[in-house]
């Protein structure tokens, strides 16, 4: 059973048939999920709220964000999430997760860049270009996430993660998300924070090198989409084998 706490410390139980027990984090953070009204963003928001983090759903439309937060709170049966416009969400948070489509990735970051200084930005962007989403289409510069790090400079610690995690599985709180997460970034300490956050929601985060390596994770998403189509899967993931315990 997934358990969380509200502000008063009361336990929250999510999903009577859950297949694993998720521990409450010992390091609660304020996490803003930009694009939190989409499927991936909502899935991550649910998981992090259930793990004891304070979660703010961000959107260009504050009312849309508040509505999404209310709906997710209904699923959790507690008021654990809140919604606001992107700028307010970023200002209040110490960790920001970007889950917007590639087409608006850069403009979204530009709009909140003034509030990002000194914070960790987890970018889950995948450069998908419909309708051929099962074909790898990386930008000329290589990595969509690395381009954001170059744009923001060293004052913002950009980390790439969650590109290969199924939104379908994230939103199914009765089941563990059985996959690894490739975590790329130039700041090792920021990567370690994100690896810890992965563990908070039942996944294994792995240090996967500098931010330019994000190109590999971004490309893998199109491969997973192709595999899902071929094998009629709801959401294939990745697992790195032969690592020491």
CATH superfamily, domain at 27-231: NAD(P)-binding Rossmann-like Domain (3.40.50.720)
Q: Which pLDDT band holds residue 22 (cuts at 50, 70, 90)?
A: low
Tell whether pTM > 0.75: yes
The mean pLDDT of the chain is: 91
Classify residue 117 by its DSSP letter. Answer: T
Tell me the C-alpha distance between 134 and 224, whole Å: 8
Q: Smallest Cα–Cα separation from 147: which of 183, 109, 112? A: 109
What are the tens digits of pLDDT across the range 164-182? 999 999 999 999 998 999 9
Query: In this structure, are strands 81-85 and 180-185 parallel, antiparallel, or unpaired?
Result: unpaired
pLDDT above 60: residue 106: yes
Tell me the C-alpha distance between 1 and 27, whole Å: 20
Q: What's the gap between Cα 53 and its chain centre? A: 13
pLDDT above 90: residue 210: yes
């Amino acid at each position: 059973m997934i358990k969380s706490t509200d502000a008063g410390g009361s336990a929250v139980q999510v999903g009577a048939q859950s297949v694993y027990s998720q521990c409450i984090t010992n390091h609660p953070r304020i996490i803003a999920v930009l694009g939190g009204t989409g499927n991936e963003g909502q899935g991550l928001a649910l998981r992090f709220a259930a793990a004891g983090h304070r979660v703010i759903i961000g959107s260009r439309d504050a009312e849309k964000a508040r509505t999404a937060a209310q709906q997710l709170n209904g699923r959790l049966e507690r008021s654990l999430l809140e919604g606001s416009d992107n700028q307010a969400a970023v200002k209040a948070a110490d960790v920001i997760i970007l889950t917007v489509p590639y087409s608006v990735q850069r403009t979204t970051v530009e709009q909140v860049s003034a509030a990002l200084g000194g914070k960790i930005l987890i970018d889950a962007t995948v450069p998908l270009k419909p309708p051929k989403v099962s074909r790898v289409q990386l930008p000329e510069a290589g990595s969509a996430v690395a381009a954001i790090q170059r744009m923001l400079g060293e004052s913002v610690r950009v980390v790439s993660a969650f590109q290969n995690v199924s939104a379908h599985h994230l939103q199914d709180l009765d089941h563990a998300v059985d996959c690894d997460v490739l975590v790329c970034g130039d700041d090792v300490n920021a990567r370690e924070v994100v690896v810890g956050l992965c563990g908070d929601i039942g996944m294994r985060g792995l240090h996967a090198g500098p931010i330019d390596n994000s190109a590999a994770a971004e490309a893998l998403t199109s491969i997973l989409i192709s595999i899902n189509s071929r094998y009629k899967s709801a959401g294939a993931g990745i697992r790195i084998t032969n690592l020491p315990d």
